[in-house]
Structure 1
């Protein structure tokens, strides 16, 4: 089947019986959290210490439901994974933030709701050595409510390029992006200025308090979004229409801030997409048995990836916002809300070989072209590899902080040092014995003192 037919096949027909789903890599934004910016309805002098942007109960529920959706698709419907957790089949990673780690745990509770039963052992083997310990009345399951615990892997932020997109040049990138013609065009557009005016009026902001920048406006919008998800109040005079327009421009402001051009999109998407190709290749070549890899991340991670996959761009969003004539392209414009997710599926066709499909929030999106939702894996890999950049170099990351190097000492070196140590001890012992033989009264006189 040539590529043209593959596009046609992907646009018209569902996956056929001779197609087998063999590997999945999913990435999601964490669930609803507490506010990030203290700009309305909070006390700057009474902010909590530590990670204040913790996952809320609403965020836990979001991720739990997403996990159930993933279970239905990849365990029940497609039989990709075993019904019970199998450590050889899945690998879960997260950025080193409370909200992403908690999101991963919540997600996995939906994906694997029941844990393993206890082995047939005596009661004392189920208790710690503490005196007075008693076994709880929770039946034959290890934990209450049949909970299944699954390991979640993290890295320090400075070493996490794929999910935390740690990069030393991000600050200068944002500063430069706020000086571009495209940024000023959007910021000074009539509909944007009208939005600023309404927002400032409805919130009663005057003087230096007034908002006249779309990135600053996005920070206020983030607070209101958290309030909406967590049942907190909104400004009483903030009109629903104003909030709607703030939602409409949210993704555009984020793209203009950090992912404004193709070079920036390529940069921030490189680490994760490189990881995707590496994981698929390792599975195909038999180097890995992992069938499902889940990654708990942030909206910045997600926007970098969907920009790198050509599913959106600052320019196409700006053209839509300014109501310019559009070419026939696919362009996501809705903001990456809490628990948004992107899934890359790898299939094997018995006749035509490997191909990929991509879902964004549960819907298939174009891959390798503006129309087709199928793409042969070799072509997908070739396209991505052509756009990969040297991330460490572009982000000014020194070799010292990349990844911890584990030095493995050769066995012969260890044996050599052990032999030297034994010989040294033997020599000292021999010298001591010879000295005793020459002066037999030394030891007795020492003891009698």
Structure 2
């Protein structure tokens, strides 16, 4: 009897095993050089590489790619060990730092590229271009590329029409201007007066150069955090506790600036959430076989996604900072630093159906209900769909169909069309003249 029960329970375990179906990962690019010319900016200007990915950032993304390989290829045979274009799709916003980050990430995820066909000596010329003097470098062997490098396609689109990853929104500056006038912003700003005073004194800032609000402080913080990551000079008199206070408030400052209200969170999270849902849906209904999507993006995209998942908000962070009663259960207060990442995993349970788990920097996050790290896909889908807004309308994006057609139509077609119109007009003119002459003769 006991053996029968063991067999029955074993069968139930096998039948109820959860299967990972599809993964969608999104990460912030790796460490870069500073945006702003505020501290030691002459050094940055001399480099000529404002906001570009640095070697530190390359290493961060390479290691993240190795982590993804360990999780989805080695520990769990979810993806094949070598690149398979039928399994993965990689995209990036159209910035050098995100495109390079995607490349570095993929070098870690797929470190070994393919071999070329092993030709006999008389056919080795097939491996060369037609250029005179071209030759195969020594030591490359049968590797397609030196060191067996694997190159993987990275898809992108123009910044102006990239709503999901670059969050292009013409009305964005107006939203920021409104947010800087709210009572919440003013309250937090006033509570930070001593921090501004300490920072100004320690950096010896005077006159118009003094910091007196979050925006200016965030600009300095951007430079200092980049310097820390890249081993560049830091202000000698800046105290460790002051820098820590700036770090502690960085996420709140960004949230107050761009994602202060629930309506703004819905707006900015709509494009990426729509993409997540569409890709899960197409896999479940069998119209796509892609199992892994990787998206190389920005801190704003990650923070909008976290806010849309109700894992943080400007209000809850302000409550923490102002030491008020916290009204939101989940409240991430740490800034979205370089290479921070979110991963959506869609599983299927043979009994209960598909469900989702979300990781933030490798740790599962609570979803849907209090403390629960799993959420039925239908529930999460309904929740995210209910948050969606008309992004283009809310952002003031004007779709000029004539311009779009012009941009997408080949030149020869337009030329032919113009010539046709000219001939048509000329023909009509000739007909009118002939009719007039005939009328005069009559």
* TM-score, L = length of structure 1: 0.84
Q: SS at 1:43's partner residue? A: helix
2:156 maps to which of 138, 142, 154: 154
Tell me, yes or no, if the aligned pair for 1:365 and 1:373 is still in contact at 8 Å. Answer: yes
Kept in 2: contact 1:21–1:347 (CA 8 A)? yes
Question: What pairs up with 1:44-443 in 2 under 5 angstroms?
Answer: 46=45, 52-121=50-119, 122-136=123-137, 137-189=139-191, 192-327=192-327, 329-400=329-400
Question: Is the 2:259–2:265 Cα contact (8 Å) retained in structure 1?
Answer: yes
**How far off its partner does 1:407 sit?**
8.0
Structure 2 gaps of 5+ residues are: 1-13, 411-442
Q: Can you list the C-alpha shifts for 1:289-313, whole angstroms capped at 9, x where unaligned?
A: 1000000000011111111111110
Change (3 A) 1:401 1:105: farther
Q: Structure 1 residues 138 and 407 mapped into 2: Cα distance closer, same or farther (>3 Å)? A: closer
Quote the residue 1:443 is aligned against.
none
What secondary structure is seen at the aligned counterpart in 2 of 1:154? coil
Question: Deviations along 1:252-298, whole A, 9 cap, x unmatched?
Answer: 00000000010000000000000000000001111111000000000
More deviation, 294-303/131-140: 131-140
- SS in structure 1 at match of 2:389: coil
1:342 partner SS: strand
Q: Indicate the SS of the match to 2:30.
A: coil
Shift of 1:44: 8.9
8 Å contact 1:33–1:99 — kept in the other structure? yes
The whole-number CA distance in structure 2 between the counterparts of 1:147 and 1:403 is: 41
Partner residue, 2:38: 39
User: 1:46 offset after TM fit, Å?
Assistant: 4.3
* Residue equivalent to 1:428: none
CA deviations on 1:380-407 (whole Å, 9 max, x unpaired) are 1001111100001101111138995698
Q: Deviations over 1:193-232 (max 9, x none)?
A: 1111110000001122110101210110110000000000
- What is the CA-CA distance between 1:41 and the residue it aligns to? 0.6
Counterpart in the other structure of 2:437: none
Cα separation, 2, equivalents of 1:393 and 1:224:
37
1:386-432: CA deviation from partner (whole Å, max 9, x where unpaired): 110000110111113899569899xxxxxxxxxxxxxxxxxxxxxxx
Task: Render the CA deviation track for 1:224-246: whole Å, top value 9, x for unaligned.
Answer: 00000000010010001100000
Q: Any idea what the Cα deviations from partners look like across 1:141-165, whole Å, max 9, x if unmatched? A: 1111110000000100111000000
Residues of 1 paired with 2:341 and 2:74: CA distance?
20
CA distance in 2, matches of 1:90, 1:362: 20
Shift of the 290–132 alpha-carbon distance from structure 1 to 2, 3 Å rule, reads: same
Secondary structure, counterpart of 2:41 in structure 1 = coil
Q: State whether residues 356 and 374 of structure 1, in contact with CA within 8 Å, keep that contact through their aligned partners in structure 2.
A: yes
- Secondary structure in 2 aligned to 1:125? helix
- Paired residues in the alignment total 393
Compared CA separation, residues 217 and 309, structure 1 to 2 (3 A): same
How far the C-alpha of 1:331 sits from its partner, in A, is 0.5
Q: Secondary structure at the match of 1:331?
A: coil
8 Å CA contact 2:32–2:52 kept in 1: the answer is yes
How far apart, CA to CA, are the structure 1 residues paired with 2:399 and 2:33?
36
- 2: distance between equivalents of 1:93 and 1:19? 28
The Cα of 1:48 is off from its aligned counterpart by: 5.8
Structure 1 pair 159/128, CA: closer, same or farther in 2 (3 Å)? same
- SS at the partner of 2:386? helix
2:28 equivalent to 1:26: no
Return the alpha-carbon distance in structure 2 between the equivalents of residues 210 and 115 of structure 1.
52
RMSD of aligned Cα (Å) = 2.1
Q: Which runs of 5+ in 1 are unaligned?
A: 1-14, 410-449
SS in 1 for 2:400: helix
